[in-house]
Structure 1
Amino acid sequence: MTSAIAPHPLASRALARPDFTLRSTGWSAFLVGLVAFIVSVAWSWQPSYWGDEAASVMSAERSLPSLFLMLGNIDAVHGAYYLFLHGWIDLFGASEFSTRLPSAIAIGAAAAGTVVLAEKFISRPAAIGAGLIFAVLPRVTYMGSEARSTAIATAIAVWLTVLLVLAVRSRTASRRRQIALWGGYSLLLALGIYVFLYLALLLPVHAVAVVALARRHPLRRPTARLWWSLALWLGASLLGLLLALPILLAGSAQREQIAFIGRRPRVTVSEAAVMQWFDTVPVAIMAWALIIVAVMAVFFRLRGTQYQAGLPSRGALSIFLAWMLLPSGILLIGNELVTPMYSTRYLSICAPAVAIVIAVGLAALANNWLRAASVALLVATIVPAYTVQRGEFGKNEGSDWRQAAAVLAAEALPGDGVVFDQSVRPSRIPRLAMHLYPEAFAGLHDVTLTRAYSDTAWLWDEVAPLPDALPAVANLNTVWLLQYSGSADWRHETDVRTLQLQGFRVAETTLVNRTIIIEMTR
C-alpha cells in the first residue's frame, strides 16, 4: 500500500516548518538534561586525575599574571577554559568533584539542546530518545566527568546549531529578530572557538544545514531564499571568525604543541569508528547497526521499517550525517596529508548528531518489541564501559595519582625526600600527583626541583636529573621514589642505583596501579 511507504506528514514538513518555539519542548528538554547531568556527575569523583586534567587544574591555580605568561607560549587554545576554571576553583575548590562538575552541567545543557534540536525534525518521543541516548554514549559520559573543555564545547555546538535553524527559519520574522538571531550565531560561534578551536569544523556542517533547510526540493533550481540564507549565514560566520581571529592566530602559532599526535600510531578508519564515540566494540556494533537502519529507512525506504514514527526527511537526516562524518573526515584526511591534527577526543562535538541518528534508527524499527529489545541491548553494552569509567583508575588507562598520594600521606614523614620519574611523557609523570594532591606531599623535600611551574612560562616544573641534584640528598635519611611502571627508568632502575651509590637501600616497594613507590633509607 502507498501509505506503508509514504513518509509521515511531520517528516515531509520538517524542513519547511516555519515555527520553531521552545515552549512545547521545554519540559521534555529540561528533564532529559537533568537525567544527563545525573548520569555524568554520578561517581565522577571516583577516578584519579590524569595528565590533561593536571594541565587544566595546575594552569587554573596559577596567578593571573603567571597564567597569561604561560598562554603566550603554550595552550592558548585552552585559555578561555583555564580562565573560567581559575574563577571556579577560587569559589569551589580543586577537588575532582568540583572541577569536573562544570562538565556534567554542560552535558545536561547539551542533552537538553539535543532534544530541542531533534524535535524539529523527528517525533517528540524519538527526540527525547535522542537526548537520552546522547546522555549515555561512552564518549559523553567520559567528557562529562572530566576537567577539560570538551563538554562545554559540545553544549555550545548543539545550541549553535539550534540558533542556526532558528535563524534560517526566521525569514518571515521581523528584521530585529533576524539581526538578533544571526548576531547571536556569530557571538556563540566565536565563543565556541575560544573554548575549543576545533568547533570551527562545524562550519561546513552548517553550510550543509543551510542548504537543506532553505531548499524546499532537492531537484529544483536554487531559489532566492536559498541564496539569501547562504549569504546571511556566510556573513554571520565570517563575523564570528573575525571575532575569534586572535585565538585562531594563537592556535596556528602554537600548533607544534600537538605535534605529539604525529608520533602516535596512525588511527585507522575502523579504530576511529569505535573510539570516537563508543569506546568499546560491542557498543560500536550496536550503534552503527542502528545508524545503518536510519540511513536505509530514510534514504532507501527499507521494507519493514515504521514510517509512521515521524522520521526525518532525507535533507534533515543529511544534516546529522554531515555533522557525524564531515569533521571526522576533515581531520583524518588532514592528519594524513597536512599535519598531525586528529584525536578521537576532538570529535566529541559530533556526539549529539550521533545520538539523533541512532534515535532515528530506533524509531524506524518495525514494532515496539524490537525497539525495546534494541534499547536494552544498547544499554547492556554501554554499562560495562560506564562502570570502568567510574572506577578508581578510570582515566587515561589507569591513572592512579590520588591513590599513590594516599600512600605517601600515610607513610612518609616531614623532612623525607621525594624523587619523581622523569622518563615518561609529561602527561604521565608521577610528579603531577604532588600538585594535584598537595596535602599528601606537605613537608617533603622535592629533591630535583629547580623551578616551580608557576614561575615558568610553561605547563610543568623545571627539574634536574637526579645525579645533578645529589647535594640535596646529603642530609636525608629517607627518599621516596615514584616511578611509572612502564617507563624505561623503572626497567633500568637508574634512580635506584644512583641512590644506592649514596648509601641508600630499598626498604619497601609498593605497586599502586601503574605507579611504583619505592622507599629508600640509609
Structure 2
Amino acid sequence: MWGDEAVTYEVAHRTLPEIWRTLGHIDAVHGLYYLCLHGVFGVWDGGLVALRLPSVLAVAAGAAGIALLGRRLAGPRAGLLAGLVFPLIPAVQRYAQEGRSYALVCALVIWTTWLLVSAVDRPRGRRWAAYAGVILTACLLHEFALLTLVAHGVSVFRSGPARAVARGWGAAAGVVVAGTLPLAVFSTTQASQVDWIGAPGARTVLGFAAVVLVGLVCARTPPRAAHAAPPMRPGTLALPLLILPTALLMALTPLRALYVERYVLSYTGALALLLGVALDGVWRRSRDGGRRARPAGYAVAAGAGLLAVLTLVPVGTHLRTPQSRQNDAAAVARAVRQSARPGDGLVFTPARRRVWTLARPEEFRGLFDLALDRSPVASDTLHGTELPPGAVRARMLAARRIVVVHDVAGEPLDAADREYVKRATLRAAFEPCATRRVTRAQITLYARPGAC
C-alpha cells in the first residue's frame, strides 16, 4: 500500500463528520472519492481488495466504453481491438491497481465521450443532460477532468456541427463549469498540497511528443466504410482528447507546475481508440490486398504482437512490484517496527511523512511520537499537528533512542523551523546507529553517543 493509497484507506474509514471536517483542511479535490470509498467500506470492509476493486472495475468499464466508441466510429473489429488495447497500456495497468480516483475518472471521461458521440448523432435534451451529468461527476472526483470539456469542444466544432448540436454542447458545458466552479475555487485555498509538483522534464516532454506522434500516424488510417455515416471521424474525436488536456497542463508550468500524468489519464482512452482503428486498417489491407499482400500482413501482425509482448510483459511485471511505486507505506511501517523497541522515540521529518503511519498504525504502538501534538484524526488532517520547535527539541533531548523516518538522500530538505530543529538536535545530541532504505523512505535509528 503506497502513501496515497494509505490516505484513501484511512480517510475513507473516518466517520462522515470527520471526513467533512478533514476536507475543510486538505484534499477537498478528492472529497467525493473518499465518500464513495466510505460507502464501499460500509458495505464490505475487504482491506486492500475493497480499496482497489473500484479501480479494477473502472478500467473494465473503460475498456467496454472504448470498444463501443470504436464500433460506432470505425466498425466492430476496430472497436474490439481498441477495447483490447486499452488495458494493455502501462499507465492504465498501473492505475487499475491503485486505490485512488484516477482510473474511475478515466472511465467516466471515456463514457462521457461515448455520450458526446451519441448526442452529436441525435441531439436531444436527455442525451445532453446525461453527458453533462457524467462529466460533472468526473470533475467532482478530480477537477482537472474539466479539461475534457476543452477537448470535446474542439471535436464538436471541428466536426461542423448543426446549430442544435452547438447549442446543446454549449448548455451542457455551462452546467458542468458552474457545477465544478465552487470546488475549484475552494481547492485554491489548499493549493500548497501541489507544491511538490515540479516542471516536466525532457524525458516526460519527449514521451508525450512520442505518444502524440503515434496518435497522428494512427489518425491517418481511414476507418472502415460503414452503412451509416459516423457522427465524426475517429481522429476528430480522439486527437483533441489525446493532446489538449496534457498540453494545457504542461503549458501552465511557467505560471504553476501542475502536470502529473495521472491527472490527465484519459489520454489513454484516445490512444487506444486510435490504435484500434489503425490495427483494423492493417488487418483490412492484408485481407484485401490479394494473395501477395496477405503473407506480408500476417508477418507485420506477428511482428507487432511479438514486440508488444516483449515490451509489455517486463513493464507489467515491474508494475506489480512495490518497487514500481514511490513508497510502500506498509513496508515502511514494518521496517520501523523491526528497528525500534517499545518506549523508543519516533520522529518524522518532514512531518508530512507521518502519512506512512496510516497504512499500518498498529506497527507504531508503543513508540512515542516526539513532535506530535494532535493525531491526524483528532486534528482532522492527514499528517497531524506538531508542537512548537522548542517543545520538539525538549522532547527529543529527553529520549535515549529515536527512530527517524525521513526521505532518502538527495531529496530537498524542508526549510520550516520545526524541521530544522529536528535535524539540528539529531546532529548535536545523537549518533546514527543503523539505517535502512525502503523504496523512497529512509529509517534511521539514532541513540545517545555510546548507546548504540
Structure 1 length normalisation: TM-score?
0.72
Q: Which residue of 2 aligns with 1:40?
A: none
* Contact 2:200 2:259 survives alignment (8 Å): no
Alignment of 1:511 with 2:437, yes or no, is yes
Q: Superposition pairs for residues 186-205 of structure 1, below 5 Å?
A: 186-205=132-151
Identity of aligned residues (%): 27
Q: Which residue of 1 aligns with 2:272?
A: 355
**What's the secondary structure of 1:146's corresponding residue?**
coil
Deviations 1:271-324 (A, max 9, x none): 2352x6xxxxxxx96x667534423333xxxxxxx9689998983321111111
Query: How many angstroms apart in 1 are the aligned matches of 2:143 and 2:213?
Result: 31
* Contact 2:7 2:355 survives alignment (8 Å): no
Given candidates 338, 341, 344, the residue that maps to 1:416 is 344
Q: Superposition pairs for residues 97-108 of structure 1, below 5 Å?
A: 97-108=49-60
TM-fit CA distance, 1:349: 1.6
Q: Which residue of 2 aligns with 1:406?
A: 334
**What's the secondary structure of 2:177's corresponding residue?**
helix
Amino acid at match of 1:402: A
Query: How many angstroms apart in 2 are the aligned matches of 1:185 and 1:80?
Result: 19
- RCO higher in structure (CA 8 A, sep ≥6): 1
Q: Superposition pairs for residues 351-500 of structure 1, below 5 Å?
A: 351-365=268-282, 366=285, 367-396=297-326, 399-410=327-338, 412-422=340-350, 426=352, 429=353, 431-456=354-379, 458-464=381-387, 468-472=391-395, 477-486=400-409, 487=411, 498=425
TM-fit CA distance, 1:169: 2.0
Query: How many angstroms apart in 1 are the aligned matches of 2:300 and 2:446?
Result: 62
**What's the secondary structure of 1:188's corresponding residue?**
helix
Deviations 1:168-200 (A, max 9, x none): 2225xxxxxx33322212221221111111111
Query: How many angstroms apart in 2 are the aligned matches of 1:161 and 1:314?
Result: 12
Q: Which residue of 2 aligns with 1:243?
A: 179
Deviations 1:405-437 (A, max 9, x none): 2233345333332222228xx4xx2x3222211
Query: How many angstroms apart in 2 are the aligned matches of 1:257 and 1:476?
Result: 32
Alignment of 1:342 with 2:295, yes or no, is no
Query: How many angstroms apart in 2 are the aligned matches of 1:489 and 1:141?
Result: 33
Q: Superposition pairs for residues 153-192 of structure 1, below 5 Å?
A: 153-171=105-123, 178-192=124-138
* Contact 1:467 1:498 survives alignment (8 Å): no
Alignment of 1:333 with 2:251, yes or no, is yes
Structure 2: gaps spanning 5 or more residues: 286-296
**What's the secondary structure of 2:259's corresponding residue?**
coil
Amino acid at match of 1:358: L
Alignment of 1:271 with 2:199, yes or no, is no
TM-fit CA distance, 1:115: 0.6
Query: How many angstroms apart in 2 are the aligned matches of 1:181 and 1:505?
Result: 67
**What's the secondary structure of 1:127's corresponding residue?**
helix
Query: How many angstroms apart in 1 are the aligned matches of 2:212 and 2:152?
Result: 23
TM-fit CA distance, 1:257: 3.8
Query: How many angstroms apart in 2 are the aligned matches of 1:517 and 1:256?
Result: 26
Query: How many angstroms apart in 1 are the aligned matches of 2:38 and 2:218?
Result: 43
* Contact 2:8 2:100 survives alignment (8 Å): yes
Query: How many angstroms apart in 2 are the aligned matches of 1:113 and 1:246?
Result: 29
Structure 2 length normalisation: TM-score?
0.83
Instruction: Label 1:239 to 1:260 Cα distance change in 2 as closer, same or farther (>3 A).
Output: same
**What's the secondary structure of 2:323's corresponding residue?**
coil
* Contact 1:292 1:361 survives alignment (8 Å): no
Q: Which residue of 2 aligns with 1:227?
A: 163
* Contact 1:110 1:154 survives alignment (8 Å): yes
* Contact 1:402 1:433 survives alignment (8 Å): yes
TM-fit CA distance, 1:348: 0.3
TM-fit CA distance, 1:54: 3.8
Instruction: Label 1:120 to 1:500 Cα distance change in 2 as closer, same or farther (>3 A).
Output: closer
Q: Which residue of 1 aligns with 2:92?
A: 140
Query: How many angstroms apart in 1 are the aligned matches of 2:196 and 2:435?
Result: 32
Query: How many angstroms apart in 2 are the aligned matches of 1:518 and 1:494?
Result: 17
TM-fit CA distance, 1:374: 1.5
Query: How many angstroms apart in 2 are the aligned matches of 1:376 and 1:147?
Result: 32
Instruction: Label 1:479 to 1:342 Cα distance change in 2 as closer, same or farther (>3 A).
Output: closer
Amino acid at match of 2:199: P
Q: Which residue of 1 aligns with 2:291?
A: none
Q: Which residue of 2 aligns with 1:219?
A: none
Query: How many angstroms apart in 2 are the aligned matches of 1:239 and 1:501?
Result: 59
Instruction: Label 1:341 to 1:473 Cα distance change in 2 as closer, same or farther (>3 A).
Output: closer
Query: How many angstroms apart in 1 are the aligned matches of 2:156 and 2:128?
Result: 13
Query: How many angstroms apart in 1 are the aligned matches of 2:412 and 2:214?
Result: 45
TM-fit CA distance, 1:212: 5.5
Amino acid at match of 2:377: S
**What's the secondary structure of 2:74's corresponding residue?**
coil
Q: Which residue of 2 aligns with 1:67?
A: 19
* Contact 1:212 1:315 survives alignment (8 Å): no
Instruction: Label 1:231 to 1:351 Cα distance change in 2 as closer, same or farther (>3 A).
Output: same
TM-fit CA distance, 1:61: 3.4
Query: How many angstroms apart in 1 are the aligned matches of 2:125 and 2:250?
Result: 36
* Contact 2:70 2:79 survives alignment (8 Å): yes
* Contact 1:415 1:476 survives alignment (8 Å): no
Alignment of 1:208 with 2:208, yes or no, is no
**What's the secondary structure of 1:297's corresponding residue?**
coil
Query: How many angstroms apart in 2 are the aligned matches of 1:272 and 1:369?
Result: 33
Query: How many angstroms apart in 2 are the aligned matches of 1:508 and 1:94?
Result: 36
Amino acid at match of 1:70: T
Query: How many angstroms apart in 2 are the aligned matches of 1:228 and 1:308?
Result: 26
**What's the secondary structure of 1:443's corresponding residue?**
coil
CA RMSD across the alignment: 3.4
Query: How many angstroms apart in 1 are the aligned matches of 2:226 and 2:299?
Result: 14
Instruction: Label 1:76 to 1:122 Cα distance change in 2 as closer, same or farther (>3 A).
Output: same
Amino acid at match of 1:371: A
Given candidates 46, 49, 67, the residue that maps to 2:2 is 49
